[in-house]
């Protein structure tokens, strides 16, 4: 169901200003290098380069992989769609730990495949339970790492153990949309598994730490034969020239990435402390969002926050939990103020 634009929400609720902490975008805005590159763009009467050639060369160099093992999409969401279109058919099974990023399931169903849902354990993907769900019909396995909405990771050892169990015939998708925010030394670089010959696709995006969500650009890295299959279902001009140019510049913007990481770390620890003061339980996160337990119906909390102009995300698979994107200090303060009112904790 299509949502409403923020301006419409503001008008309906009579709000002057809205703080959107609902989709894990970068609160600092876009990479300044990307913005500068966009300003120079002047050839948009021409179709874009179909396979995002230059960006793939730059990514290949940066990541130490063959550019032909990279496919660029209109967001990494489109790569998830391409995987479904290219690989799935009626009767296939797709293993999906739940809750997780909500696009995997409908795109599996679209192709008549059957989602096999495996509950998380203590907010973490339970690789042993995922392995138990493997069957001769399993085609794809999604491991979102860090997992959205819980922010937890699966470790290098866990992923390797699972890939050994899954064997060569099953493709595992390592969705690393938030990898740049991770601080845990136990976190694996999915590309290492690819280099070592495991049957994996690594998904990354420019929507989060690079701040380009509105331009729609992300990518997958996979064995070359699989990438060739994905190109068969790719729209010829799936990524705009604006997105390609901005992503190319953002990739070099190490300063902005470092700043975004630092602001996220500070915001995360600020929110941890403030939630602890209020006795609100949360799941320690490796990403740029935080899942917390409001202790009451998440739908009601969502509505009460919205009325105050703070949009966070409920409906995350837990009856009393909500997910908030870690914002700037000011946004985090606004979130806490609204939360206090929503939970009637004004005295804190």
Q: What is the DSSP letter of 30?
A: S
Give just the sign of the alpha carbon dihedral 30, 32, 36, 39.
Answer: positive
Q: Is 251 in the site for ligand PLP (CB under 6 A)?
A: no
Instruction: Please name every residue paired with 204 in a beta bridge, in sequence order, or none if there are none.
Output: 219
Question: Of 3-11, 74-82, 114-122, 270-278, which part binds ligand PLP (CB under 6 A)?
Answer: 74-82
Give the integer Cα–Cα distance in Å for 252 and 243. 15
Q: Which of 87, 88, 95, 177 is close enough to bind ligand PLP by CB under 6 A?
A: 177
Give the integer Cα–Cα distance in Å for 112 and 171. 18
To which H or E segment does residue 18 belong? none
x/- contact string, 31-70, with ligand PLP (CB under 6 A)?
A: ----------------------------------------
Nearer to ligand PLP, 177 or 305 (CB): 177
Q: Is 211 in the site for ligand PLP (CB under 6 A)?
A: no
Q: Which of residues 135-154 bind ligand PLP (CB under 6 A)?
A: 144, 148
Three-class SS of residue 323? strand
Nearer to ligand PLP, 27 or 218 (CB): 218
CB-nearest residue to ligand PLP: 75
Q: Is 213 in the site for ligand PLP (CB under 6 A)?
A: yes
Pairing mode of beta strands 289-293, 321-325: antiparallel
Q: Which of 27, 99, 188, 218 is close enough to bind ligand PLP by CB under 6 A?
A: 218
CA atoms within 13 A on the CB side of 51: 16
Nearer to ligand PLP, 32 or 102 (CB): 102
> How many Cβ atoms from other residues are within 10 Å of residue 16's Cβ?
6
- CA distances to 85, 86, 231 from 90, in Å: 12, 13, 21
The length of the chain is 348
Question: Of 49-57, 86-94, 205-213, 257-265, which part binds ligand PLP (CB under 6 A)?
Answer: 205-213
Nearer to ligand PLP, 34 or 280 (CB): 34
- CA distances to 36, 245, 322 from 33, in Å: 5, 10, 33
Alpha carbon of residue 226 to chain centroid: 22
The residue count for binding ligand PLP (CB under 6 A) is 13
Question: Of 75-83, 183-191, 240-248, 322-330, which part binds ligand PLP (CB under 6 A)?
Answer: 75-83
CB of 287 to ligand PLP, least distance (A): 8
Instruction: Give residues in contact with ligand PLP (CB under 6 A).
Output: 24, 75-77, 101, 144, 148, 175, 177, 205, 207, 213, 218
């Amino acid at each position: 169901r299509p949502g409403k634009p923020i301006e419409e929400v503001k008008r309906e609720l009579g709000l002057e200003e809205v703080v959107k902490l609902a989709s894990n975008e970068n609160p600092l805005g876009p990479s300044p290098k990307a913005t500068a590159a966009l300003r120079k763009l002047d050839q948009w009467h021409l179709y874009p380069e179909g396979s995002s050639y230059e960006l793939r060369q730059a990514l290949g160099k940066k990541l130490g992989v063959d550019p032909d093992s990279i496919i660029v999409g209109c967001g990494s969401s489109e790569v998830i769609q391409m995987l479904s279109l290219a690989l799935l058919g009626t009767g296939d099974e797709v293993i999906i730990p739940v809750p997780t990023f909500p696009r995997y399931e409908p795109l599996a169903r679209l192709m008549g495949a059957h989602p096999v849902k495996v509950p998380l354990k203590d907010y973490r993907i339970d690789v042993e339970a995922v392995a138990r769900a493997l069957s001769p019909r399993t085609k794809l396995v999604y491991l979102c790492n860090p997992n959205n909405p819980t922010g937890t990771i699966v470790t290098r050892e866990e992923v390797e153990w699972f890939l050994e169990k899954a064997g060569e015939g099953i493709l595992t998708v390592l969705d690393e949309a938030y990898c740049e925010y991770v601080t845990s030394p136990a976190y694996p670089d999915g590309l290492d598994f690819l280099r070592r010959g495991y049957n994996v696709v690594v998904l990354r995006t420019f929507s989060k730490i690079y701040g380009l969500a509105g331009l729609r650009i992300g990518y997958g890295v996979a064995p070359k034969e699989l990438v060739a299959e994905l190109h068969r279902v790719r729209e010829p001009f799936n990524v705009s020239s604006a997105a390609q140019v901005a992503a190319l510049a953002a990739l070099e913007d190490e300063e902005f990435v470092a700043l975004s990481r630092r602001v996220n770390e500070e915001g995360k620890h600020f929110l941890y402390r403030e939630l602890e003061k209020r006795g609100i339980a949360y799941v320690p996160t490796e990403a740029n969002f935080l899942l917390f337990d409001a202790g009451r119906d998440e739908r009601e909390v969502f509505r009460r926050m919205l009325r105050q102009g703070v949009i966070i995300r409920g409906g995350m698979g837990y009856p009393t939990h909500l997910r908030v994107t870690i914002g700037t200090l000011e946004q985090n303060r606004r979130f806490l103020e609204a939360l206090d009112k929503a939970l009637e904790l004004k005295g804190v």
